[in-house]
Structure formats: structure tokens, C-alpha cells
Structure 1
Amino acid sequence: MSLLWVMLGLMLLVVGGEFLVRSSVALSFKLNISKLVIGMTVVSFATSAPELLVSLQAALEGSSDIALGNVIGSNIANIGLVLGVTAMISPLVVDKGFYKLNWPVMMLLSVVLYFFLKSGNELSFAEGLVLFVSLIIFLFLLIKGAAKEDLSSVDDVDDNLQGTTNFRVSFWLLIGAAALYFGSEWLVFGAKEMAVSLGVSERVISVTMVAIGTSIPELAASVIAALKQEKAISLGNLIGSNIFNISSVLGLTAMIQPIAVKSKEILTTDAFWMIGFAAILIPLVFIPKRFELNRVKGAVIFIAYLVFVYTTFI
């Protein structure tokens, strides 16, 4: 029964996230916000909503292991699972913006998060605020850099949403909000029940099954794009998702409800896996062939992820 709650919760989160993205983009067009800003801020915030609701719900219910494990596990899955599988299907070409801004910010935030959690065994309001402010700075630099490059097309934004009626925007927003609310409730409840039934901690379930579940939309989109041989698969999108997970999801959650570290494994194991997956990208991108993640490199990342999941359960 616990698995059913988890599956239903994940399904509602996917549906809610999709409707929230649509309504947010349509509303942004009505407010005459530029397509570039919509793609880099509105879409990014909306796609992080499922993770935010899950972490916030878990933190408010005192299940901080799920709140932290969801984000840390999702960041690991984005690189190990999503990036690994995608590169195994179709080699990825890496642009220079990866190591100039996106990767350094992801690496810095990953290390800062570790020290914040280690310093007081919790993520406090002030630390959450620091993380969120860092996101604002990152987005400012990102939009400023993109504007200089005069990017006329933003793949994440659907132009067809420009003529959406007010009624439809409101309807999508209501469906999205309701689906996200109940999806997060059911997922957290199911994760707790599953941990009890399997005799493992909430942290184990959250860094593996919950994290994989919240990464499925990115995995599906990336695999489909890779199979179609589309060049739109962006390493930057996955890196950006990791940045949002730490600075927005954990930052906002901690500002509403401080997140305590209950399982020592989060600091002694999971955080190091997250930092390790982030760090390994640089040598993989540059050695031996520069600016390419081929099938062999993808296989290495994916096998490392399987090792992480195996060691977490044992």
C-alpha cells in the first residue's frame, strides 16, 4: 500500500508541475515579461515546485531526512542517472558556459550546503536566506550573460501559450496547485510507510526512490531528445536544476521551517556522493576528448550511480 501512495504522489507531482509551468508561462506573457527571463526564471522555479512541496511538507511534519534526502538524492540522480543514461544513448557536446558559470556555482553551493549542515546539524533561516540570495545573484549573472549573447530562442518556453485566456490560466493554476499539494502529501506519507515496511530509514527511501521519482520528468525528456538525436539536450539544464534544488528548494524550505540533520549518513555519505558527482564532471568533460560526454563516460557515471544506490541500501 505504501508503494501505491508513493506512485500516486509522484504522478500528481508530475501533473501538477506541468500545469504550474503552463500557467506560470502564460501569466508571464500577459505581464509582458521577456521570453528570455521567463525561460531562465519562471520555468526554472515552476519545474522545481514538486521538489519544493515535498521538502517543505516533510520538514513541516518533522521528517527532515526526507526534506534533505529528496534534494541531495535528486542532485545525485540528475547527474548519475539522467546524465549518465542520456550520454549512453547519444554523446553530449558541452558548451563553455558549463565551466564558466554553471559548474562553479553548483560546486560552490554543494560545498556550502555541506558546511552549513555540519556547522549546527541543521539548515537555519539565515543559512536558507544565504542560499536563496545566491540564487538571485546566479540568475542575474545568467540573464546578463544570455542577453549579451542575444539569444533569440529559448527552448523551454512554448510560444503557443501567449494567447491563453485568463480562465484557462486560472484553471491550470488551480489544478497545478491542488495536484502539487496532494502529491507531496501522499508521497511523504508513502515514503514514511515504505521505510517502516522495509525496515530502513526515511533517509534511505528519500535519497533513492523519492529522488529517482522526482527526477523521472528530466530523465524522460532527456532520453526522448537523445533518441531523436536532438541537440537541445542541455547539460546546463541539469546543472541548473541542481542549483535550484539547493538554493531554492532547501533555501526557501529552511526559511519557513529550519531543517535538522537527523541521520549522520547525510553528512558522512550522501553529501560526499553529491559533491563527488559534481566534481567528477570536470575531468570527464576535458579528458580525453574536450567538451564531450561520450557513451563510455556516460556508462562510468551511471555505474557510479548504481554503486551509490546499492551501498545506500546495504
Structure 2
Amino acid sequence: MNLLFIVVGLVILILGGNWLLKAAVGFSLRLEIPKIVIGMTVVSFATSAPELIVSVKSALDGYADLALGNVIGSNIANLGLVLAITILISTISVEKSFYKTDWPVMMLSSLLLYGFIAFDGVLVRYEGIILFLMLVVFLFYLLKFQKPAVIEDLPDDNEELPLYKDVLFLVIGGVALWGGSELLIDGAVGLATKFNVSERVIGVTIVSVGTSIPELAASVIAILKKEKAISLGNLIGSNVFNILAVLGITSIITPVTVKDQGLLTSDIYWMLGVSLLVLPLVFAPVKMKLSWKEGLILIALYGGFIYKMIA
């Protein structure tokens, strides 16, 4: 039954990623907003929903390590696994907004999280409010200043759909991502508990990979459909959302207290390291491009992280 949940969950997630992408492209055409901005708002909100649901429920049930491990593990998986697979499939040309806005905000969010939990091991309500307010400011900046700053030539085959279809695709896609993730997580945790694996290890490996599947599905579909701006914006945006929205909202509802010190002595440093590494990879060896070579580096790093967790 657990295996069936995993398989069905994956199928629903892939379908949801496709529907969500249709909605994102539709809204970018209708509102004349750059696709990179749509990727970092509409798509990121929907694909981060599984992390939010899992983290809030885990924290309320007293499993704070699962809530925090899920976010930290998802952020590592988004770059070390999802981005790696995406650029192994196809080379990505990186937008200037990556180093001007997207990457700095991701690093600032990561460092802010580190500062909040590294010393006392607790993410309290006022810290959650600060994180969420930072997200609001970031989104305002994107929609206010990046809209006229980025001009993209849309593919000729993109036709503007009726508004009700855009909304329908957005809702169905979001629900499918949520439902598929729930099935996947239930199945994965069910299998993992049979082997007496710790809550923290489940959070940063199986659950985080499960909740990162929407990002993988949306990104691969975006690459195959030549919507590469959405793909990159979605990944960076999801990491920002995971910290500012998921942990922000979770800690506003209930304090997140770390029990397993491995989250603070190891896992969060892996997250900071992988996030930091993306910047030099964008500039070397080929400036403003990510190709299969960088993909191999990232996936090897992620493999090392997983080996360390389960060894």
C-alpha cells in the first residue's frame, strides 16, 4: 500500500506540474509580467504548498524536527537534485535578475534563518513574522520593479487562454500538487518507519525529496516546453518561499523547537553551502549559463549529502 501511494502520488504531481505551468504561462501573457516573476510568485506559491502543509502539521503534532528538516532538506534538494536534473536535460541561460535579486534574496533568507535558530535552537513567533514580512517586501519588489525591467519574446505558439481556464488550471494544478504530495509523503514515511529511521533523517531525505517533486515536475516540464525562465525562477523562488513563507507561517502558528542537534550542526550548513555554490557555478566555466557539467557537480554533492545522512 505504501508503494502504491508513492507511485500514484508521483503521477498526480507530474500532472499537477503541467497544469500549473499552463496557468503560469497564461497569466504571464494576460498580465504582461515577465515569466521569471510569474515563476517566482504563482508557481512557487503552489509548489511550496506541500512543504507548508507538512511543516505546519508536523509542528502542531510536536514533530518540529520533521518540519524544519523538511524545509532544509527541500532547499538542498531543489538545488542539488532538481536543478541538477534540469540542467542535465538542457542548458539554462541565466537571467541577470539571478545575481541582482533572486540569489541575494535566497542567501539573505538562508542566513536570516541560520541567525534565528543557530544559537537558541528555537524559531519563535516574532521571528516568523519577520520572515513573512520579508517575503511580502520581496514580492512587492518583484511586481513593482522587475515587471518593466525584464522584456521577453514570447514563443509564437503561445495563445492567451480565457481567464476561467487560467484560473481552473491554477486551482486544479495546486490541488493535484497538494494531494499527490500527501500520498507520496504518507507512503514514504510509512516505508521509512519500518526501518526505525529518525524523524530528522526522514525530514531531510524522504519527505523533503517528496515535497520537492512538484518543483522537479514543474521544472522538467518547463524545460521540455522551452519555458526555461519559469524553471529557474521556480527553483530559486521555492527556496525563498520555503524559508520566508513555510517556516515563517509555521512559526507564527506555533514555535519550532529543534530537538535533533544534527539539524544545526550539519544540515543547515549543507543548505548554506549548496546555496552559496550556485553563484560561482553560474559564472564559471561559462558565464550566465548552467550546463550538464554544473549538473554533475550539484548531483554529486547531493549524493554525498544523502550518503552522509544514511551512513
TM-score by length of structure 1 reads 0.81
Partner secondary structure for residue 78 of structure 2 = helix
CA–CA separation in structure 2 for the residues paired with 1:177 and 1:293: 32
Alignment of 1:203-218 (within 5 A): 203-218=200-215
Identify the residue that residue 111 of structure 1 maps to in structure 2. 111
Structure 2 equivalent of residue 162 of structure 1? 163
Query: Does the CA contact (< 8 Å) of 1:64 and 1:262 recur in 2?
Result: yes
CA distance in 2, matches of 1:102, 1:260: 29
Q: Name the SS for the 2:88 alignment partner.
A: helix
TM-fit CA distance, 1:179: 8.1
Structure 2 CA distance for aligned equivalents of residues 111 and 199 of structure 1? 32
How do 1:216-235 and structure 2 match up within 5 A?
216-227=213-224, 231-232=228-229, 234-235=231-232
**1:1-314 aligned within 5 A:** 1-5=1-5, 34=31, 36=33, 39=38, 41-149=41-149, 151=151, 159-164=160-165, 180=178, 189-227=186-224, 231-232=228-229, 234-314=231-311
| 1:213 CA drift (Å) | 1.8
Query: Which stretch of the first structure deviates more once superposed, 110-119 or 100-109?
Result: 110-119
CA distance in 1, matches of 2:68, 2:136: 21
Asked if the contact 2:44–2:234 (Cα under 8 Å) also holds between the matched residues in 1, the reply is no
Q: Deviations over 1:244-295 (max 9, x none)?
A: 1110111111111221212111111111111111000111111232111122
Q: How much has 1:117 moved relative to structure 2?
A: 1.6
- Alpha-carbon distance in 1 for matches of 2:70, 2:109: 16
- Structure 1 CA distance, aligned partners of 2:129 and 2:294? 36
Deviations 1:53-84 (A, max 9, x none): 11111111112222112111111111111111
* SS, match of residue 285 in structure 2: coil
Question: What is the CA–CA distance in structure 2 between the aligned matches of 1:202 and 1:177, rounded to whole Å?
Answer: 27
SS in 1 for 2:95: coil
Mapped contact 1:128–1:254 kept (Cα < 8 A): yes
The residue type equivalent to 1:162 in the other structure is: L
* Distance (whole Å) between structure 2 residues aligned to residue 299 and residue 190 of structure 1: 29
Q: CA deviation at 1:306?
A: 0.9
1:108: Cα distance to partner? 1.1
Alpha-carbon distance in structure 2 between the residues aligned to 1:174 and 1:294: 33
Equivalent residue letter for 2:212: S
In structure 1, stretches of 5+ residues that fail to align are none
Residues 131-150 of structure 1: CA deviation (Å, up to 9, x unaligned) = 10010111111112223326
- Equivalents in 1 of 2:141, 2:104: separation in Å? 13
User: The residue matched to 2:62 in structure 1 has which SS?
Assistant: coil
Pairwise CA distance, 1:111: 1.3
Q: Could you report, residue by residue, the CA deviation over 1:69-121 in whole angstroms, capped at 9, with x for unpaired residues?
A: 21111111111111112222222211211111110110111111122122321
What is the CA–CA distance in structure 1 between the aligned matches of 2:16 and 2:90, rounded to whole Å? 30
Distance 1:158 1:203 in 2: 46
Percent identity, aligned pairs only, is 49
RMSD: 3.6
Letter in 2 for 1:272: Y
TM-aligned CA deviation for residue 222 of structure 1: 2.8
Letter in 1 for 2:142: L
SS of the residue aligned with 1:36?
coil
Residue identity opposite 1:290 in structure 2: K
